[in-house]
Amino acid sequence: MSILSFVALLFLLSAAPADSFANAVEALSYAHFRPCPFRCEVERTLVPKSPPMSGSDVADLQLRLQQLGIFKGKIDGIYGASTVSAVKLFQRRSGLRENGIVDNGMWARLAAGVLATSGPPSPKPEGKIRLVVNLDRLTLVVYADDRPYKTYPIAIGRWDTPTQIGEFVIIDKGVNPGGPFGSRWIGLNVPWGAYGIHGTDRPWTIGYSASAGCIRMFNQDVEELFEWVDIGTRVIIQGSEGEYQLVTEVERPLKEGDTGKDVRFVQWRLREAGFDPGPLDGWFGDAMKQAVMNLQKFYGLPITGIIGKDELYVLSII
């Protein structure tokens, strides 16, 4: 999917209810699908160099080497001397060339012997499906008609690349994205970047805060989930309540059409104050505008539908 196509979908989503996307899936090509135009995961070959490479993929590598009892250092995401030495030791024990290079073949070797499923498959649930991701429990729960149906273990974003909390919908799906995206991609309408639910070629990271922001699942699990969800399916990502306060200041007036983490923060404050802004998705749409107008009417402010200093004050943001 091109960036323009991705942006077009987001624009349409901001202007239409989620159910209107039920037929959009037929317009998407699943062949050779490449997700994340902004790269929510890192896909590259790791090589020893100076200065050393760094990133969430290095942290994934360090975690696996630590699990194997080869790496004793800190999981810091830096491909430094101690990590390179551990890779070479793994290569020597595996009968590979000791060059410290981690390519697709090495990732596959590292995954060998890792249990890569949460259990046997289940039949498709009946009823309306929604997904609830709990960042504290590292789980994804499938609800059917508001009843929990199945729970999957997941990996979430590292502390420096956290998974975004909020209330989103599925906007695209793809088969066999490959590499760190595994066998399936399920994209979400997070307005400040490309995030989604996907498989992984690093199954040892499931159950950890390991990704660059996306939600990872075992390939077998995400393949099952992929068949159950449609474009427009709701996805609620929950974390500690205070995580909404990662944005603690709103430094601009907010109006209909705006997007961002500050919009999501104001949405949360509106909901807490008893004015329903719709989904906490970071989009300033019709529902949020109506909530702002209701707030303004309640407090005797000019009814503009715009968040300014007076509105921030009554919401206890400033």
Which of the residues are catalytic? Answer: 198, 214
- Which DSSP category does 207 fall into? T
Which amino acid, residue 198? H
3-state class (DSSP) for residue 196: strand
Binning the chain into helix, strand and coil, the percentages to the nearest 5 are 35, 20, 50
Look at residues 232, 192, 243, 238 and name the one whose alpha carbon lies nearest to residue 215: 238
Q: Tokens 């805060």 identify what position?
A: 209
Look at residues 131, 168, 135 and name the one whose alpha carbon lies nearest to residue 148: 131
Mode of pairing for the β-strands spanning 234-238 and 129-134 = parallel
Look at residues 142, 112, 115, 147 and name the one whose alpha carbon lies nearest to residue 130: 142
What's the longest Cα–Cα distance across the chain?
75
Q: Tokens 């660059």 identify what position?
A: 212
Cα–Cα dist 236/169, whole Å: 8
Tokens of 205: 């990271």
287 backbone φψ class: left, alpha, beta (φ>0; ψ -120 to 50):
alpha
| Alpha carbons within 13 A on the beta-carbon side of 110 | 30
Tokens of 49: 């160099």
| Beta bridge pairs of residue 143 | 130, 148
